[in-house]
Amino acid sequence: MPGPFRVALSGDLRNSDGSPTYEHFDLSPLEAAPDLEFAFIEPESPISGAQLEDFDALILLGNRFTEESVPKSGRLAVVARFGVGYDTVDVAACTRADIALVITPDGVRRPVAVSIMTLMLALTGKLMVKDRLTRQAHAGFARRSDHMGVGLVGRTLGSLGIGNIGAEFYRLAAPFDMEFIAHDPYADPAQAAELGIELVGMEELFRRSDILSVSCPLTPATRHIVNAERLALMKPTAYLINTARGPIVDQKALTAALKANRIAGAGLDVLEEEPPAPDDPILTLDNVILTPHALCWTDQCFAGIGAADVRAVIDVQHGHVPRGVVNREVLERAGWKERLEGFGRRFGN
């Protein structure tokens, strides 16, 4: 008789001593699921296909998944990415092999939106410089008036992208009485109208925004979409925020704009190179707030991401299409349908 449904967890989900990398990723639902077993694989990047020959599903953290990661057995049915970014996964290779790539939008929607809000308030409130002033005691207090913050009422909040996270950020920002604009060629006009967002062209977005957030995925089309020419359109009083992926922004161009005070500042949770080189000039600037691609990392965020991944693989085990499938075309492929139907027959609904 066929064995249990087998789930692989990428090796970077546990430390060298065997302890979990993230204690808030609750594996107990996998432990309790009938006819399911899971195991950690070695922390290779990219993952080798040989490690996945006997698995039906993979929960993937940071290790890369490439063409070479596809097992020859044809057994692997789903790769569940721990998060929403999937630039480390060869999506086309997954589709060709009838493997569904799943991300976890529900797990990161609120945490990342809160991160954008955190950077917006820190930048406009001059939080970092005021912290430094306070530590200088009397001398710092004497210079408080030199660092006036920026009020938000009536200011223009722009977003490059209004998908899952971008839309949630606008919901959080509603009480601030700002003007909302966005550019997103895939936007749902009805949703934009419901959120009070005016859809505008790319150049208008950069020209009008007082705070501009990058909330789009990294693709060949969006790499360096925020470049020197578009930064030059921004107001000298404007702030740029990026919590998406570093290469969406031309970091050399942004560094030059910040050095020349062509924009007021930036808040970056992501960089083109992570971690950055010690001599990266952006590290020396005092008009940028930098966090290590971890601003949204909270107990609730990681618990939510983990729960979404666990739910996805258990859905597949029971023959159901999981939420958050990236390569939707795989759902119409005969190989994928056959696997899913087979799981449904074996493990029930």
* Digit-coded pLDDT (tens) for 104-118: 988 899 999 999 999
SS3 label, residue 342: helix
Do the Cβ atoms of 81 and 31 come closer than 8 Å?
no
**Gap between the Cα atoms of 91 and 265, Å rounded:** 35
Q: How would residue 342 be classed by pLDDT, with cut points 50, 70 and 90? A: very high
> Which among 237, 246, 189 has a CA at the least distance from the CA of 212?
237
Give 203-262 pLDDT, tens digit per residue.
999 999 999 999 998 999 999 999 999 999 999 999 999 999 999 999 999 999 999 999
CA atoms in the 13 A half-sphere facing the CB of 132: 7
Percent of the chain at pLDDT above 70? 99
Mean pLDDT within 56-62: 96
Angle between the N-to-C axes of helices 105-124 and 164-173, in degrees from 0 to 180, rounded to the nearest 10? 50
Tokens of 220: 């060949």
**Gap between the Cα atoms of 237 and 67, Å rounded:** 46
Q: What mean pLDDT value characterizes the chain?
A: 96
Q: Positive or negative, the Cα torsion across 328, 112, 305, 220? A: positive
- Residue-wise over 47-66: b if at least 16 C-beta within 10 A, else e? bebebbeebbbbbbbebbbe
Cβ within 8 Å of residue 66, ≥6 positions away: 46, 47, 90, 93
Do the Cβ atoms of 133 and 143 come closer than 8 Å?
yes
Same fold, 5-103+298-347 and 108-290: yes
The torsion region of residue 302 among left (phi > 0), alpha (psi -120 to 50) and beta comes to alpha
How much is the pTM? 0.88
Q: Report phi then psi at 99, rounded to 5.
A: -110, 125
Angle between the N-to-C axes of helices 105-124 and 127-135, in degrees from 0 to 180, rounded to the nearest 10? 60
Give 153-191 pLDDT, tens digit per residue.
999 999 999 999 999 999 999 999 999 999 999 999 999
Long-range contacts of 335-340 (CB under 8 A, 24+ apart): 335/74, 335/98, 336/77, 336/98, 336/99, 336/100, 339/77, 339/98, 340/77, 340/316
Provide the CATH topology of domain 5-103+298-347: Rossmann fold (3.40.50)
Mean pLDDT within 130-149: 96
Do the Cβ atoms of 25 and 306 come closer than 8 Å?
yes
Domain spans of the chain?
Answer: 5-103+298-347, 108-290
Question: Does residue 1 have a pLDDT over 60?
Answer: no
Question: Does residue 71 have a pLDDT over 90?
Answer: yes
Amino acid in the structure at residue 210:
D
Mean pLDDT within 37-50: 94
Question: Does residue 79 have a pLDDT over 80?
Answer: yes
**Gap between the Cα atoms of 156 and 148, Å rounded:** 19
Question: Does residue 7 have a pLDDT over 90?
Answer: yes
Provide the CATH topology of domain 108-290: Rossmann fold (3.40.50)
Percent of the chain at pLDDT above 90? 94
Amino acid in the structure at residue 235:
K
Tell me the catalytic residues. 245, 274, 293
